[in-house]
């Protein structure tokens, strides 16, 4: 007795800034934040519509692998979008007659902007993020949705 019996090594320090939850944990967090539907086609996730997370600003365009740059999308939409810019793909979804969640995309882009403002860096992603936010703002006039206003 009296000897140290706990042999578990101390956990390595994890700077908050680079904390990277595992894939399952990230998916759970994104689903809790955004709800259980695909941002692009609106289908509810389930066995035939498996949820994935994808990057709002694609990794190839410098998008960071932060939760603030992830949204929940079904596997089909994630694969079909590829590296397309988010608003390009949003409009492609509309051409297909789907109901992409433009308001959710706007929130995601705002959250990513806030995270970049806070964390700094991400110089490659910034112009892509700026362009996407500009395009989305032009699409989302303030005021009531014209489709719901009685004529």
Residue numbers of the site for Zn ion (CB under 5 A)? 38, 40-41, 74, 77
CB of 40 to Zn ion, least distance (A): 5
Q: Which is nearer to Zn ion, 21 or 36 (CB)?
A: 36
Reported for 26-30, long-range contacts at CB under 8 A and 24+ positions apart, including other chains, are 26/53, 26/67, 26/70, 27/51, 27/52, 27/53, 27/72, 29/67, 30/67, 30/70, 30/71, 30/72
**122 phi/psi in degrees, rounded to 5:** 60, 40
CB of 76 to Zn ion, least distance (A): 6
Instruction: Count Cα atoms within 13 angstroms, Cβ side, for 84.
Output: 15
CB of 146 to Zn ion, least distance (A): 25
Q: Which is nearer to Zn ion, 50 or 127 (CB)?
A: 50
Q: Which is nearer to Zn ion, 70 or 116 (CB)?
A: 70
CB of 23 to Zn ion, least distance (A): 18
CB of 105 to Zn ion, least distance (A): 13
Q: Which is nearer to Zn ion, 40 or 89 (CB)?
A: 40
Q: Which is nearer to Zn ion, 82 or 121 (CB)?
A: 82
């Amino acid at each position: 007795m009296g000897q140290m019996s706990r042999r578990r090594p101390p956990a390595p320090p994890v700077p908050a800034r680079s904390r990277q939850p595992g894939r399952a944990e990230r998916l759970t967090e994104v689903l809790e934040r955004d709800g259980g539907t695909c941002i692009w086609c609106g289908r509810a996730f389930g066995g035939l519509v498996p949820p994935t997370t994808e990057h709002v600003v694609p990794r190839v365009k410098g998008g960071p692998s932060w939760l603030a740059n992830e949204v929940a999308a079904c596997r089909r939409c994630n694969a079909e979008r590829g590296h397309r810019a988010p608003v390009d793909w949003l409009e492609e979804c509309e051409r297909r007659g789907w109901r992409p969640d433009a308001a959710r995309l706007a929130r995601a882009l705002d959250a990513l902007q806030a995270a970049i403002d806070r964390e700094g860096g991400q110089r490659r992603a910034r112009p892509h993020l700026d362009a996407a936010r500009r395009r989305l703002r032009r699409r989302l006039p303030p005021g009531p949705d014209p489709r719901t206003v009685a004529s």
